[in-house]
């Protein structure tokens, strides 16, 4: 029986010729990731277990991104604990204020993840790196602790869903619209503990940033991971960033899938997910009600890359956000921040009445930099719109692409652009 992309990577890292759905394996890790929220818990467990060393100080990444720059004493204490741990064990990939970025944008940018590699992270959106043809998934902080010490983790081999992509995206339609469409189609549990595997001629229409966005939100369909077949676009991206050998994997022709979906990208339109689940997806130009907004957020590990900044700036250029609307623009990394300055995007945002922030997760998880009050609505390029996700339980979050978020900020209500 043939194997899927994910199964091949897991088999390789477990030292096995093949694996099957449901099999329990122990596999070697290429990267273990934590942030300022999850790492302190992992460090506590690491110390409690009596570990006195890490398996490889170059294969652990600690990124201070959720509450940095520190928003309060507790946040400062958590970051200090991570900083002390990184110093004690000489962790090479430790990123703090000034050189950090949002973790799931920073690691691909730094070339810390390559095709065919196996990564775990104590953050659910670690599945982002599947865009590069890697197997990456979120785990608990206890698994992170064990991974840092041993370089291994247990996995149950997932079944897979195949997404055969054809066609080409239309103007002002992006990867965010694709994944919101898919989640709207299969539901938030439609890929529960399965691998979402993307292939087909339509991949040529998707930039690496589109793929990173789509893989990032695989978890919002309940998936164990999302993964893209590596191609020329993948190779072009990693050749400038990765300086070590790596291997790409394609599914066997006789690989078994739980389900297969054929998706013509040319049929996908600008999409918004209404509260309070990502599956509540609606096509923007088919909305019948007026949805006024109080805030727009453009950024996050989902849509804070330079292409997202450029897309938003194109819409905002020469215009101003509506009276009574707050628009927060958050580039995902320092490199993206600098590009925004060099290309004049920062000036466009500020002239349009936006706040232009240092990289941070900030408002995405209701942390800081844009908390919502009761009764307020935000349109956001983030990945979750659960009850109370960005503030008060009586606030509302609408998920959208940077283009739709920018257009809505100008209009003061949810709208698209043609």
Per-residue model confidence (pLDDT) at position 81: 97
CA atoms within 13 A of residue 201's CA, in its CB half-sphere: 5
Mean pLDDT of the chain: 96
Give the confidence band of 231 by pLDDT, cuts at 50, 70, 90.
Answer: very high
Q: What is the pLDDT of residues 305-330, one digit of tens each?
A: 999 999 999 999 999 999 999 999 99
The arithmetic mean of pLDDT across residues 198-216, rounded, is: 96
3-class secondary structure, 271: strand
Q: What is the pLDDT of residues 217-226, one digit of tens each?
A: 999 999 999 9
Q: What is the pLDDT of residues 406-417, one digit of tens each?
A: 999 999 999 999
- Does position 241 have pLDDT exceeding 80, yes or no? yes
Give the confidence band of 365 by pLDDT, cuts at 50, 70, 90.
Answer: confident
Q: Which DSSP string corresponds to 91-148?
A: -SEEE-TTT-B-HHHHHHHTT---TT-EEEESSGGGGGGGGGT-EEEE--HHHHHHHH
Q: What is the pLDDT of residues 66-86, one digit of tens each?
A: 998 989 999 999 999 999 999
The arithmetic mean of pLDDT across residues 100-121, rounded, is: 96
Closest C-alpha among 382, 380, 379, 306 to residue 346: 306
Give the confidence band of 367 by pLDDT, cuts at 50, 70, 90.
Answer: confident
Q: Which CATH architecture has domain 271-411?
A: 2-Layer Sandwich (3.30)
The residue ranges of every structural domain in the chain are 5-265, 271-411
Per-residue model confidence (pLDDT) at position 149: 97
At the topology level, CATH places domain 5-265 in Aconitase; domain 3 (3.30.499)
- Does position 203 have pLDDT exceeding 90, yes or no? yes
Residue 333 β-bridge partners: 101
Q: Which DSSP string corresponds to 38-71?
A: THHHHHHHHHHTT--S-S-TTSEEEE--SSTTT-
Per-residue model confidence (pLDDT) at position 377: 97
Q: Which DSSP string corresponds to 154-181?
A: EEEPPEEEEEEEES-PPTT--HHHHHHH
Give the confidence band of 418 by pLDDT, cuts at 50, 70, 90.
Answer: confident
Per-residue model confidence (pLDDT) at position 155: 97
Domains 5-265 and 271-411 share a fold: yes
Scan for tokens 């998707």, then name that residue.
206
């Amino acid at each position: 029986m043939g194997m899927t992309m994910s199964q091949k990577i897991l088999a390789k890292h477990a030292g096995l010729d093949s694996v099957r759905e449901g099999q329990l394996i122990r596999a070697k890790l290429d990267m273990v990731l934590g942030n300022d929220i999850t790492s302190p818990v992992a460090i506590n467990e690491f110390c409690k277990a009596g570990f006195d060393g890490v398996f490889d100080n170059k294969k652990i990444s600690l990124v201070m991104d959720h509450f940095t720059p520190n928003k309060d004493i507790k946040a400062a204490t958590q970051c200090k604990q991570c900083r002390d741990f990184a110093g004690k064990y000489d962790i090479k990939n430790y990123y703090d204020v000034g050189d950090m970025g949002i973790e799931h944008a920073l690691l691909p940018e730094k070339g810390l993840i390559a095709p065919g590699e196996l990564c775990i992270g104590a953050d659910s959106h670690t599945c982002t790196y599947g865009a590069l043809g890697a197997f990456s998934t979120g785990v608990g902080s206890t698994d992170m602790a064990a991974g840092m010490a041993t370089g291994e983790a247990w996995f149950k081999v997932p079944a897979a869903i195949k997404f055969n992509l054809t066609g080409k995206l239309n103007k002002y339609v992006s990867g965010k619209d694709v994944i919101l469409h898919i989640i709207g189609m299969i539901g938030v549990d439609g890929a529960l503990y399965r691998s979402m595997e993307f292939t087909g001629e339509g991949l040529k229409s998707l930039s690496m940033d589109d793929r990173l966005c789509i893989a990032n939100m695989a978890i919002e369909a309940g998936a164990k991971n999302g993964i893209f077949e590596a191609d020329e676009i993948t190779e072009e991206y990693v050749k400038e960033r990765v300086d070590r050998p790596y291997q790409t994997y394609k599914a066997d022709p006789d690989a078994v899938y739980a389900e297969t979906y054929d998706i013509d990208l040319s049929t996908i339109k600008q999409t918004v997910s209404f509260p309070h689940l990502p599956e509540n997806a609606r096509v923007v130009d088919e909305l019948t009600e007026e949805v006024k907004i109080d805030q727009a957020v453009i950024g996050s590990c989902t849509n804070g890359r330079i292409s997202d900044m450029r897309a938003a700036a194109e819409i905002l250029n020469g215009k101003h956000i509506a009276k009574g609307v707050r628009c927060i623009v958050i580039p995902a990394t320092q490199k993206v921040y600098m590009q925004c300055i060099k290309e004049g995007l920062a000036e466009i945002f500020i002239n349009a009445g936006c706040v232009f922030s240092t990289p941070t997760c900030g408002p995405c998880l209701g942390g800081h930099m844009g908390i919502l009050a009761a009764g307020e609505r935000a349109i956001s390029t983030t990945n979750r719109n659960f009850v109370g996700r960005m503030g008060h339980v009586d606030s509302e979050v609408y998920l959208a692409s940077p283009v739709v978020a920018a257009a809505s900020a100008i209009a003061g209500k949810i709208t698209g652009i043609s």
